[in-house]
Amino acid sequence: MLRANAITKRFGRTLALDAVDFEALPGEIHALVGENGAGKTTLMNVLAGSLAADHGEAVLDGRPLQAGSPRAALAAGIAAVHQSPMLFERMTWEENLALGGFDTGAGALDLDAIAVRARALAAKLGFEMPPATATVENRSVAERVRLEVLRALSFNPRVLILDEPTSVLAPSELTAFLDLLRNLRGEGRIVVLITHKLAEAIAVADRITVLRRGRVAARTTPAETNEKKLAGLMIGEIVTQPAASATPSRSGDPVLQIENLTLDDHVGRRILDRLSFRVAAGEIVGIAGVDGNGQTELVELLAGVRHPSSGKITVLDGSPGSMAVIPQNRDLDGLILDMRLWENLVLARPLREQVTSHGWLNTSHAVDLCRELIDRFRIRAPGPETIAGALSGGNRQRLEVARAIASRPRVIVAHNICRGLDLAATAEVHRTILDFSTGGGAVLLISSDLDELLAICGRLLIISRGKIRETNPGERDPERLGLLMAGARD
């Protein structure tokens, strides 16, 4: 039996896991569900030894696991298939697998023998292997997932943890994969399946644990629940009544126009597929979707960090600087934590231009501007000279919002803008956004938080697998929307 007792893990100021208890039995498929940011991957990393918890311990069959040692975890019989790729791109697949358990460790390295053993196991599982000595680089995503699963299984593990393995599989491959999991269960292993695909969880799991914001929200079984309920538990308190302040879309003039926006990655996979929509002045349009369906790339395209493979982004009636983007990863992309508040402020080109004349940066002007914004947006900071890293998460977010608004854009694009904020801070940010749109600005809110979207968006779009679909105006059933977000077919 695999147990996690009171696991707590902090990253800086963020509490990723808060005294989480978890248990999985042999001969069981245990699904771990939750939104991104709920803590599933962190929990997996603790169990697999990649991460050492701050408090608490993991125990397998009564023996505590050595924290922070992947080697110890593997030796104890825990193998993990991670969500982000852990393959060595430029090595051949045989070499990749050789670093797993197929290698006997004795005598010279025999890649051929390893390949034979791998193919045997793959055949048993119904996998196809890539051609001999092919490097991993150009294989498809599905093949990579299979290789990683194969490598994990080569350790003959007691426990197999899989983090979102099916998100890249085609429906045809899905059935086979779920059967594979059932086979593993039949062999008496412990299978932990991390997923946000509720249909799969219900279809294949024996028990389901729901994580939300670093805590266990519920423990249940497929018999006792259904997708709707799970969606609700995952997403949290459902606001059944949209707040009165949600304005129905005023049809002002379109400000942001996206036409057939398409993005393919360097291997040729389609990340965004012919997106077309527009946002009008005074409108708050929401794009709802679980993380990983193309939102990050869409934001990068809008910010100009990436270029689309085809399609157009137009900001009508405005100069290039008239779109302010608030990225999801505020600490990495949105702010320079080593710099002061006023310096972070002038990162935004329109603001920088405001305080610069003939190339000269008017520092005192910038500092004054910063002070003004600190007051206006009630950012809790000692002053404009404070280093951004010293601010709490909420205040950093206030700074980013302040910066976006102060640049006087025509459009604000915000990605998961309230992630990690408490209710009060969230309400404040929402108020600001609403004021902005009431004043005639256009807002595109990309979020995985349905409450937020339902609370303030006029129009709602759903993004799934790189495609956008409009929802019916007035379609406000959060449970149904949650299902659409989680990938259910119409």
Partner 1 sequence: MLSSIAKPFAALALAAALISIVLAALGASPVGVFAALGEGAFGNWYACVDTVVKSTPLVFTGLAVSLAFSGALWNIGADGQLTIGAIAAGAIGPHLGNFPHAIAIAIILAAGSLGGALWGGVAGWLRARRDVNEVIGTIMLNFVAVQALSWVVHGPLMEPSRAYPTSSPIARAAQLEFYFAPSRINLGMLLAVVLAAACYLLLFRTGAGFELRAMGRNRRAATFFGIRIPALTFWAMTLSGALAGLGGAVQISAISHRLYEKLSPGWGFEAIAVALVARLNPLGIIPAAVLFGALDNGSQAMQRTQGISPELVQVIQGLVILIILAFDTPAWSGLREQIFGAPPDAAAVPPVAEMPDA
Partner 2 sequence: MLEAFLTSAITMATPILLAALGELIVEESGVINIGIEGAMVAGAFVALAIAYFSGSIALGLTGAIAAGVAINAIFAILVVNLAVNQVVTGTAVSILALGLTGVFYRKLFGVTGMAFMVKPIAKIPLGPLARIPLLGQVLFDHNGLVYFTFILVPALWYVIARTRYGLRLRACGERPEAADALGLGVIAIRWQALIVSGALTGLAGAFLTLAYANTFVENISAGRGFVALSVVIVGRWNSWGLAAASVLFGAAMALQFGLQALGTVVPYQLFLALPYALTLVVLAGFGGQAAAPSALGEPYRRQ
Query: What, of partner 2, partner 1, none, does residue 303 touch, CB below 5 to 8 Å by kind?
Result: partner 1
Q: Which residue has the tokens 């412990």?
A: 190
Q: Is 267 in the site for partner 2 (CB under 8 A)?
A: no
Q: Is 71 in the site for partner 2 (CB under 8 A)?
A: yes
Query: Which one, 13 or 250, has the nearer CB to partner 1?
Result: 13
Binding partner 2 by CB under 8 A: which of 8, 36, 50, 183?
Answer: 50
Q: How far apart are CA 485 and CA 479, in angstroms?
A: 10
Binding partner 2 by CB under 8 A: which of 24, 47, 74, 301?
Answer: 74
Q: How far apart are CA 289 and CA 294, in angstroms?
A: 9
* 287 within 8 A of 445, measured Cβ to Cβ: yes
Query: Which one, 163 or 428, has the nearer CB to partner 2?
Result: 163
Q: How far is CA 193 from CA 46, 171, 201, 385, 448, in A?
A: 15, 17, 8, 47, 21
Query: Which one, 8 or 220, has the nearer CB to partner 2?
Result: 8
Report angle CA 15, 17, 20 to the nearest 5 degrees. 145
Q: How far is CA 350 from CA 127, 138, 164, 317, 405, in A?
A: 54, 41, 40, 16, 11
Q: Is 105 in the site for partner 2 (CB under 8 A)?
A: yes
**Among candidates 181, 224, 220, 219, which has minimal Cα distance to 200?**
181
Three-class SS of residue 171? helix
Q: Is 67 in the site for partner 1 (CB under 8 A)?
A: no
Q: Count residues near partner 2 (CB under 8 A).
A: 29
Q: Count residues near partner 1 (CB under 8 A).
A: 34
Q: Sort strands 356-357 and 360-361 into parallel, antiparallel or unpaired.
A: antiparallel
Helix (H) and strand (E) counts in the chain: 16, 21
Binding partner 2 by CB under 8 A: which of 8, 36, 69, 362?
Answer: 69
CB of 129 to partner 2, least distance (A): 19
Long-range contacts formed by 434-438: CB under 8 A, 24+ apart: 434/245, 434/247, 434/284, 436/405, 436/412, 437/247, 437/282, 437/283, 437/284, 438/247, 438/282
Binding partner 1 by CB under 8 A: which of 390, 438, 439, 473?
Answer: 390
Count of positions (residues) in the chain? 490
Binding partner 2 by CB under 8 A: which of 15, 99, 168, 313?
Answer: 99
Local structure of residue 409 (DSSP, 8 states): -
Query: Which one, 144 or 396, has the nearer CB to partner 1?
Result: 396
Binding partner 1 by CB under 8 A: which of 182, 269, 312, 349?
Answer: 349
Binding partner 1 by CB under 8 A: which of 360, 424, 472, 490?
Answer: 360
CB of 274 to partner 1, least distance (A): 25
* 85 within 8 A of 142, measured Cβ to Cβ: no
* 420 within 8 A of 449, measured Cβ to Cβ: no
Query: What, of partner 2, partner 1, none, does residue 27 touch, CB below 5 to 8 Å by kind?
Result: none
Q: Which of residues 276-335 bind partner 1 (CB under 8 A)?
A: 303-305, 325, 327, 331-335
The region that residue 201 occupies, defined by phi over 0 for left and psi between -120 and 50 for alpha, beta otherwise, is: alpha
CB of 368 to partner 1, least distance (A): 16
Query: What, of partner 1, partner 2, none, does residue 144 touch, CB below 5 to 8 Å by kind?
Result: none
Q: H-helix or E-strand containing 284? A: strand 284-288
CB of 87 to partner 1, least distance (A): 24
* 180 within 8 A of 123, measured Cβ to Cβ: no
Q: Is 188 in the site for partner 1 (CB under 8 A)?
A: no
Q: Which two tokens stand for residue 410?
A: 């025509």
Query: Which one, 86 or 347, has the nearer CB to partner 2?
Result: 86
Stretch that binds partner 2, among 80-88, 222-230, 312-320, 455-463 (CB under 8 A): 80-88
Binding partner 2 by CB under 8 A: which of 65, 98, 284, 326?
Answer: 98
Query: What, of partner 2, partner 1, none, does residue 74 touch, CB below 5 to 8 Å by kind?
Result: partner 2
CB of 184 to partner 2, least distance (A): 20
Q: Which two tokens stand for residue 81?
A: 């298939």
Q: Is 348 in the site for partner 1 (CB under 8 A)?
A: yes
Q: How far apart are CA 42 and CA 8, in angstroms?
A: 10
Query: Which one, 44 or 345, has the nearer CB to partner 2?
Result: 44
Query: What, of partner 1, partner 2, none, does residue 246 touch, CB below 5 to 8 Å by kind?
Result: none
CB of 149 to partner 2, least distance (A): 14
Binding partner 2 by CB under 8 A: which of 48, 115, 201, 231?
Answer: 48
Q: Is 454 in the site for partner 2 (CB under 8 A)?
A: no
Q: H-helix or E-strand containing 48? A: none
**Among candidates 442, 436, 404, 434, which has minimal Cα distance to 278?**
442
- The residue ranges that bind partner 1 (CB under 8 A) are 10-13, 303-305, 325, 327, 331-339, 343, 346-349, 352, 356, 359-361, 363, 388-392
- The residue ranges that bind partner 2 (CB under 8 A) are 48-51, 68-75, 80, 82, 85-91, 95, 98-100, 103, 105, 108-109
